Amino acid sequence: GLFNFFWKFLWNNSHLQYFVFCHKKTIGFGLTPKTRTGFYITDEHKDNENIYYNGDFISTEFNYHGKGGISELMLSYSQAFSENISGGIRWQIGFGNMFLIDSIITRTLIPVDYDVFIYTSKFTDTYEKKYKFRGNALNLSGLYSGKTFEIAASITLDQNMIIQTERNYFTNKSEK
């Protein structure tokens, strides 16, 4: 209902950040959706687009469905060590899932009249792919503030995104 719509809208289109301030210290965390997808596409071949193969008329329908996304969790800490020197550390954790489902529905047809067919059987092949994403980045930074100049330095250690893939194939035949 309406609650579900607003929850999905907030989850897909907003991010959360929270900072705690103490004397010369800051702790922060955030959760941000980076990508989101959701689609359903159907390509139906109508009766006049049938294939004649091995003595049979065949009709096909293709369905493509996908959903998922990648989010990022951020944790940070910074501190002023003295009046002139401060530093911080930030850890970013990327994670998410994507599900892709492709289905091919094949029907055998019996011609009854010109462009009129009876669907006799149905055969479905489904290919399912599941992707799991994860990655990390660690950032160290420092700042020196003098009376006439400032020096800032930062280094980031970035792990490549790891993608685990799982593939499944399902098939069934049912009479219509």
pLDDT of amino acid 22: 76
Residue that wins the pLDDT comparison between 175 and 23: 23
pTM for this structure? 0.65
**Between 16 and 29, the higher pLDDT residue:** 29
Distance CA 92, CA 90 (A): 7
Mean pLDDT, residues 102-116 taken together? 81
Mean pLDDT, range 21-31, rounded to an integer:
83
Give the model's pLDDT for residue 114.
77
C-alpha–C-alpha distance, residues 85 and 142, integer Å: 7
Judged on CB neighbours under 10 Å (0-12, 13-18, 19+), 52 is exposed
Span 151-160, average pLDDT: 94
User: What per-residue confidence (pLDDT) applies to 6?
Assistant: 55
19 or 27, which is more confident: 27
Q: What is the pLDDT of residue 131?
A: 94
Model confidence pLDDT, tens digit, residues 114-150: 777 787 767 788 999 999 999 999 999 999 999 999 9
Q: Report, as an integer, the average pLDDT of 89-99.
A: 94
Tell me the pLDDT band of 176, cut-offs 50, 70 and 90.
very low
Q: How confident is the model at residue 112 (pLDDT cuts 50, 70, 90)?
A: confident
Q: Which of 18-22, 32-36, 86-90 has the highest mean predicted lDDT (pLDDT)?
A: 86-90
Query: pLDDT band at residue 30, thresholds of 50, 70 and 90?
Result: confident
Please choose, from the candidates 175, 23, 42, the residue with its C-alpha nearest in 3D space to the C-alpha of residue 101: 42
Nearby residues of 60 by Cβ (< 8 Å), 6 or more positions away: 45, 51, 104, 105, 106, 107
Residue 26: closest CA among 95, 93, 74, 94:
74
